[in-house]
Amino acid sequence: MSRFESLLNPHNPPTWFVAVLLSAVVAGCGGGGGAGGDPAQVAAAAAAAAGPAGPSPVLGSASTYGVISGPAVTLNGNASIIGDLALDPGSTLTGTGTVSGATHLGDAVAHQARLDQNAAFTDASTRVSASVCAVSGNLAAMPPPPCGNNTGTFTPGLYNSGSTLTIAPGGTIILDAQGNADAVFMFQMGTALTTGTSSTVVLANGAQAKNVWWVAPAGATIGVTSVFAGSVLADTGAVTVNNGATVAGRLFSNSAAATVETGATITVPAP
């Protein structure tokens, strides 16, 4: 059979013809280094969708944890973590609260989770943006746009303070994603975060807790019966969730203790 005849024979096509055909199909589907599979282009598209803050930090193995602490965790009363808990290098877990997921105390899994959350802290704390908004004090009383308005509404972006950020007792801030489910809100601060009693963080118009980040090197205190959203990334400061508070997010401290008081609940956001 000639080469031309074998090409026309559907039961016995030559190897070279099959290879050419498969290459054409792969190229048409965006594979083989085409634009649709270019990692740089995919990353750029994700960053553009997220807004001025860029995409959410990568948590790696830490993504399923509600609390990660360096030395110790206390879960008082009926405190509840809907997710996993890790301690590294410490292993002191006290209290009668509950953890719905896995608990890792000073083991290799906990160590990796802490390394991953610390990498996320480093990433988030060093983010810069041409449109960064300078903020200070009480977030529920923000100045006019573009950094917010006097009713405490924030659009997706990177917000930076050289000191402590607060939400006053009874205060409300609104994180307005403007219909973009990928929108990222990132609040960087020089020291700590404090939310007052019965304060509220509202997720509006598609905003998701998994895309809200509070970068607080000196730790965070979530107020009594407050409603809070987002992941706290702390370094040397302790993290505390006070009585009856509800958190849709995570509280991580690289080298300080974590306390969840009676009636408080931390629920890890869906990926």
List the chain domain ranges.
Answer: 3-37, 60-267
pTM of full prediction above 0.85 = no
pLDDT, residue 8, reads 40
- pLDDT for 242 equals 98
CA–CA dist 69, 54 (Å, integer): 26
Q: What type of residue is 115?
A: L
Strand 65-69 with 246-253, pairing: parallel
pLDDT of residue 29: 40
What pLDDT score does 103 carry?
98
115 in helix, strand or coil? helix
Q: pLDDT in tens for each of the 271 residues of the chain?
A: 444 344 344 444 444 333 333 333 333 444 434 344 665 555 556 566 788 999 999 999 999 999 999 999 999 999 999 999 999 999 999 999 999 999 999 999 999 999 999 999 999 999 998 889 999 999 998 877 778 776 789 999 999 999 999 999 999 999 999 999 999 999 999 999 999 999 999 999 999 999 999 999 999 999 999 999 999 999 999 999 999 999 999 999 999 999 999 999 999 999 8
Q: What is the pLDDT, as a whole number, of residue 259?
A: 98
Q: What is the pLDDT of residue 84?
A: 98
Structure tokens at 28: 């048409």
Q: pLDDT value at position 18?
A: 38
CA distance 206 to 219: 28
* Strand positions, DSSP E, 19-136: 65-69, 72-75, 80-82, 84-87, 92-95, 98-99, 103-105, 133-134
How much is the pLDDT for 50? Answer: 82
DSSP label at residue 57: P
pLDDT of residue 2: 41
pLDDT at 73: 98
pLDDT value for 40? 56
Helix H or strand E encompassing 39: helix 39-50
